[in-house]
Chains A and B, each alone.
Chain A
Amino acid sequence: MSRKLVVIGNGMAPGRALDKLFEASPEAYDVTIFNAEPRVNYDRIMLSPVLSGEKSFEQIVIHGDGWYVKHGVTLYKGCKVTGIDRTTKTVTSGSITAPYDKLIVATGSLPIIIPVPGHKLPGVLAYRDLDDVHAMLFAAKSRGRAVVIGGGLLGLEAAAGLTERGMDVTVLHLMPTLMEKQLDPAAGHLLKRAVEARGIKVITKADTEAILGNGKVEAVRLKDGTELPADLVVMAVGIKPNAALAREAGLTVNRGIVVDGAMRTSDPDIFALGECAEAQGQTFGLVAPLYEMAGVVAARLTGDASAEFTPSATATKLKVTGINLFSAGDFAEGKDREEIVLRDAARGVYKRLVLQANKLIGAVFYGDTADGAWFFDLLKKGTDISQMRETLIFGPSFAGGAPLDPTAAVAALPDEAEICGCNGVCKGRIVGAITAQGLTTLEDVRAHTKASASCGSCTGLVEQLIKSTLGEAYEAAAVLPMCSCTKLGHDDVRRLIVAKELKTIPDLMQALEWKTSCGCAKCRPALNYYLLATWPGEYRDDGQSRFINERVHANIQKDGTYSVVPRMWGGLTTANELRAIADVADKFEIPTVKVTGGQRIDLLGVRKEDLPAVWADLNKAGMVSGHAYAKGLRTVKTCVGKEWCRFGTQDSTGLGVRIEKFMWGSWTPAKVKMAVSGCPRNCAEATCKDVGVICVESGYDIHFAGAAGLDVKGTEVLGHVVSEDEAVEVIAALVQLYREEGRYLERIYKWAKRVGIDTIKKQVLDDRERRKALLERFAFSQKFAQVDPWAERVAGKDAHEFAPMADLTFKEAAE
């Protein structure tokens, strides 16, 4: 029988330990996790990109809800453990008591809050978790002033993020130079200049005396009397291990929870792991050693008695876009130490190596960090550098002055060189995976090795490595710009619309530095769609940025006339509707009436001036626009289903009508065609549609990502649901995800190929919370979308579209 493993804390370190444990021995333990935060395991290193708007929370989740289900892990979200009873071997959180055979304490760290007067005022925040990020984002909406106390890694990342969000930011730092623990004064000075160039004010040697305010924070006062007005104060001065629970349980605690080389605490059944642990008198805050600890814990849990944790040198990178900074090891000055320094002020490059006894013991790079991995490898291995000392500072590929080719530099690295510090992946492993498993893309390498999957700062190195391994076969996935008006790709633009809260096309073009004055016929319709999909109810549709068909709600034909297709819900029509269509065809002398492939009727050859009158007549008979011209929901094709058919298993016609009634009017990146078949004989041809449903006795098989146009492709199976309600829910969630992620003109099958069928499945089928959120967003946007555009125009909207400005034929004829 499985033994019981309880984990207190759901951060990155225990997450990694469980990954390794399940890899080695999936059945060995029955796992229960208590998480004080009300959410799944996410990548805390990536909070800064979430703050700056470069990533969303979903993108930094390490283990989605599905992972816990798959591994049979019981996760208590938002449950803080209140006690560990070592005699009965149980932990308690409120009313829950869980017994353990082995226990992992991974309570992490707490932010240090300087106890100056006013530190408890509303508006004073720490920077540790997603809740802090949300609070900062909320405060940033005011576009007011922020003071960040602490000019270390976290403080600077917070300052950069808040500046991106439109706040006026000042950083206060107690020491004379920024990031003094990782940088020497020279690099600290360069960093200060770069930070200031982004519009962030930096005050060094700033000693905070008090935070002022009446009921909420209003200003910060320094000891020299300076007062800085502030609507938000972020304290980012450091962290301390969170060891209170362990101390109460009687475990040995120093600064952190004391562990031996096996990561065991003073109680051999209890491990401590992560920022709360203290090994060989040190505590740790960077991810690489924490992941090493995780590996040791997992190995020990599966009976490997040889696994030992030994602290090693760590490297630091600053995650502020546009600032390149790398530091590793020890770079204090000392008698027996020598240094090699390279400065290139014009290029903004500074490199400093610290040597001791012919070995590299410290390195600081600013501006050009490309060779960081190579130097870090020399440092970790303690390589004797006396032979290459003369040219050492120029990096690995120095060969007489030729400029460095980054691919050659990576190729020159030894197999043991660490490429990804976060996940401890060395060059040999990446190259091995590429060759053995035939990997060709960055995403593949990430999925198989985890290299560059955490903070992403080694992405460049990993790409170089793929390039040097595959040679010409590899083409970097360079971002394809939307059009020649911008350098940005579709995904960047979509992300920045959210991050910078861009709400009009002119604002967007201004903020994203469009190269043309008002875009082109390629980017404008895309931007109009992105803004419409991002800000439902808020964004005002820009008709002049729509293709003619969507502007006049009919399909332009080769002779400049239009075709008109009224909606026939699920392919159903009535004698009255058919009579009205016949009358319209007669009245307006419409030359061609044709049945479409989507079970509707097309009136072809309508003069533009006649459109509003044609629509008025169709409206009178109860018909609305079929959006046959739209990048939006077109038809939902159905078969007759169990109502009539002797093979029908469900009411496929009814379901089709229901889907169409719920989803009509929604704009999507490209057209969306659906179908519902009542049995696997599939008379509605649902398996070549963007979304298709095949009814079976036990419920509904939902398919998607089919195509029958330029490309012909059968659908993929999304999954099976038992009720009609659930089918509608899943389909709406799927379409909403596509609306949020799809690139303009990218059909569902292409989007699915790009992001992965499984990724989509996870979000709309497995993860019920995510599905619900998507559904809610879809329903909200429908409130504004479900207005019949024909009726609007019959009532007079956009009248200028349908009448000539002037008619000179008579005047001229009269002369």
Chain B
Amino acid sequence: MAVGLTEELGGAPIPGPVVTTSVPRRGRRVQLPRSPKILAGLGMMVFFLFIAVLGPTLAPQNPSASASTTGSLPLPPSAAHWLGTTQQQQDVFSQLLTGGRSTVLVAFVAGLLATALSVLIGVTAGFAAGRTDDLLSMLANFFLVMPALPLLIVIFGFLPSSGGSDDALIGAIIAITGWAWGARVLRAQTLSLRNRDYVESARLIGERGWRIISFEIMPNLIPIIASSFLFTVLYGVGTYTALAFLGLVNPNHWSWGAMFFFAQVSNAELSGYWWWYIPPGLAVALLGTSLALLNFGIDEFINPRLRVAGLSRRQAKRERTLAPPRRFVLGLTPVIRPPGAANGRAGTAGQPPGEAARTGTVPAGRHWGIRGRGRR
């Protein structure tokens, strides 16, 4: 399938519109497309990681301290308070810098744990097949149809009122509700890989199960694992922010969601205190956007057709001067190869994508129900 594409092309990199000079490594050359999407996503991600690590130290003021005790109205942005103040005269900018750490930490803990769970369960289910597969698939399907936020609200609702302020614990609870989608995609891919000839031959040679999984199957799952990690981190950001916004985790533990909680309590949206809720909202949305952009990049890596479609207009215009004009015609995707990169095997030779990974779509006919085996 899609992930095995590099394999089928005899190890040659898939020629794409954006081909950088590739450094030959031993045997196989892996090349990530350097599209503007990936670069933008990476840049934003580095920025947010920087805020998560250094933000609390950089904050000019204590996020919980009131700058003055006389005022009772939030102050708009000024030189003293770059992003204004809250109703309690706390500095919004400092809260924003401080809140990043907890938000990013919870999201990454949730992403790591959920991905580990999904690899464990998904790959096992796909490789073991039979009764084990049926049971694990059932479990994954159950978590998939269960509405996550109501479940989390009930769980946190029964926690003692002080709520959790332990980032690792919150991340772990969120991970429980977030692993199923990754497991489902990984299982489907493992299932399609386990009957490949090279896996079959490894089995005939007498390699053990764990060795086949870790050396033959796992390397081909890496793009999907990476994509499912990004997806669950994205999910973790959204879910943690929502839980904090609802006041279900200790709101005095600063996070972007907690800022929203206080803004909501003081009706910031009704009074037009935009400087209070727009910064944390934008921060969450941009963090999510950077994760999604990285995920797009992985998608384009897996499925070359999306890459061609993602060609920017400026680039197309630039190349039009070199080559005859191309148009996207229904039924045909033109493949753009820079001169020299072509080695005869074009991107359109690719099979349909295994999973349009980011969107969680499953191709028709491989609908994965409780009947277990997805093979047809």
The answer to whether A and B interact is no
**Chain B residues at the A interface, C-beta cutoff of 8 Å:** none
